[in-house]
Amino acid sequence: MTNEDQTKTRAGFVALIGEPNAGKSTLLNAMVGAKVSIVTHKVQTTRARIRGIAIEGDSQIVFVDTPGLFRPRRRLDRAMVAAAWGGAADADLVVLLVEAHRGVTAGVEAILENLRTHAGEQPVALAINKIDRVEAKALLGLAEDLNRRFEFVETFMISAEKGYGVQDLKAWIAGAVPAGPWLYPEDQIADLPMRMIAAEITREKLTLRLHQELPYQLTVETEGWEERDDGSVRIDQLIYVARDGHKGIVLGKKGETIKAVSQAARAELAEFLGRTVHLFLQVKVRPGWLEEAERYSEMGLEFREGDV
């Protein structure tokens, strides 16, 4: 890109915020056109502030997919919520996602209150998501109610999953980010290292497979990444669990669970990377991993001394 081209380009950071399961990761992936953020049926699965990068005309949009905002109980919870508000404070624009069928919950009210403190001067747009689940009259009433509670610069009706209204939102964002040179190479879709994206993909498969609270008690780290001469890649990953009993659950009867997780993660990694992937998973018991600063750093979160 030449200096002349840069004079007409735009680029900026956009924070997607909302309650857990509001559809932030789904929207991010739809905007970017590739899967860069973990999407599951379970809430609070996004831990790090994952940035997906989209191009729209002459604009480069860097999306900050923040953890869902909820009432924190543990150290990890508090680190996730702090990361979410940090993402909003650092962004050029903020987009609040609200689920159409849930309306103004206590959680949404708390977010609106905090927005007044954390958003500062950034423009905040409202995106009412999952509009296919409610009737038009209810949608209009919800939009009016939310705009009475907060001064949104724009309101969009979308379905991130089905794609309704997503392009309109993306086009508006492209025109609203600041003028300036692009922040990343044109062909880059995320600023996370591939090792972390690979770990997130495996963690998603574990989350989908396990139905207890266990997914929040485990983490995945990519320990080895070997580029092979035939163009394939060998990826070695460690799955850390907090208790001995959790290891058996992750492995499953005769290793069936870990085998299914490995197959699903390998298939998605191969599609994402466009080449053959050899994936090797190990499960290790690490009782205190939730209290280790190194684990938080791996997830892109801040470890606060003295917090419990």
Tell me: the pLDDT tens digits for 113-131? 878 776 667 899 999 999 9
- Please report, for the domain that includes residue 210, its CATH number: 3.30.300.20
The answer to whether residue 288 is domain-embedded is yes
The answer to whether 220 and 206 are in contact (CB under 8 A) is yes
* Backbone angle region of 96, left / alpha / beta, with phi > 0 → left and psi within -120 to 50 → alpha: beta
| pLDDT given at position 292 | 55
The answer to whether 94 and 86 are in contact (CB under 8 A) is no
| pLDDT given at position 19 | 83
| pLDDT given at position 197 | 78
The answer to whether residue 187 is domain-embedded is no
What DSSP letter does each residue of 195-231 carry, written as one string? Answer: HHHHHHHHHHHHHHH--SSGGGGEEEEEEEEEE-TTS
pLDDT band for position 235 (cuts 50, 70, 90) = very high
Q: Are residues 40 and 172 in the same domain?
A: yes
- Distance CA(97)–CA(93), nearest Å, equals 13
- Bigger pLDDT: 101 vs 246: 101
Residue/partner pairs of 302-306 with CB below 8 Å, 24 or more apart: 302/79, 302/82, 302/83, 302/86, 303/79, 304/75, 304/78, 304/79, 304/82
Q: Are residues 8 and 137 in the same domain?
A: yes
Condensed to tens digits (0 to 9), the pLDDT of residues 58-71 reads 998 888 765 544 44
The answer to whether residue 185 is domain-embedded is no
| pLDDT given at position 155 | 97
The answer to whether residue 306 is domain-embedded is no
For the chain, the farthest-separated pair of C-alpha atoms sits apart, in whole angstroms, at 62
Q: What is the mean pLDDT of residues 264-269?
A: 91
| pLDDT given at position 46 | 41
Q: Are residues 123 and 25 in the same domain?
A: yes
Q: What is the mean pLDDT of residues 242-268?
A: 90
Q: For the chain, how many structural domains are there in total? A: 2
| pLDDT given at position 170 | 94
For the cut 70, the answer to whether the pLDDT of residue 73 exceeds it is no
- Please report, for the domain that includes residue 41, its CATH number: 3.40.50.300
The answer to whether residue 183 is domain-embedded is no
The answer to whether residue 223 is domain-embedded is yes
Q: Are residues 32 and 138 in the same domain?
A: yes
Q: Are residues 250 and 109 in the same domain?
A: no
The answer to whether residue 148 is domain-embedded is yes
Q: Which of 11-15, 31-35, 294-298 has the lowest mean pLDDT?
A: 294-298
| pLDDT given at position 261 | 93
The answer to whether residue 186 is domain-embedded is no
Report residue 68: phi and psi, to 5°: -60, 145
Helix (H) or strand (E) holding 55: strand 50-56
The parent domain of residue 105 ranges over: 3-176
Q: Are residues 35 and 163 in the same domain?
A: yes
| pLDDT given at position 168 | 96
Residues near 245 by Cβ (< 8 Å), separated by ≥ 6?
none
Condensed to tens digits (0 to 9), the pLDDT of residues 172-221 reads 999 999 999 988 777 665 555 677 778 888 988 888 888 654 555 788 88
Q: Are residues 169 and 252 in the same domain?
A: no
Query: Which among 176, 206, 235 is the end of a domain?
Result: 176
- Distance CA(219)–CA(203), nearest Å, equals 7
Q: Which of 5-19, 46-60, 125-139 has the lowest mean pLDDT?
A: 46-60
Q: Are residues 22 and 164 in the same domain?
A: yes
Highest mean pLDDT among 24-33, 83-92, 142-151: 142-151
Q: Residue 13: what residue type?
A: F
For the cut 70, the answer to whether the pLDDT of residue 140 exceeds it is yes
Neighbours of 176 (CB within 10 A): 18
- Distance CA(193)–CA(110), nearest Å, equals 33
Q: Are residues 149 and 204 in the same domain?
A: no
For the cut 70, the answer to whether the pLDDT of residue 296 exceeds it is no
What is the overall mean pLDDT for the chain? 78
Residues near 135 by Cβ (< 8 Å), separated by ≥ 6?
none
Query: Which among 141, 176, 211 is the end of a domain?
Result: 176
Q: Are residues 133 and 233 in the same domain?
A: no
Q: Are residues 21 and 138 in the same domain?
A: yes
Condensed to tens digits (0 to 9), the pLDDT of residues 142-153 reads 999 999 999 999
Report residue 199: phi and psi, to 5°: -65, -40
Q: Are residues 169 and 205 in the same domain?
A: no
In angstroms, what CA-CA distances link 173 with 19, 95, 142, 201, 251?
Answer: 21, 9, 22, 28, 44
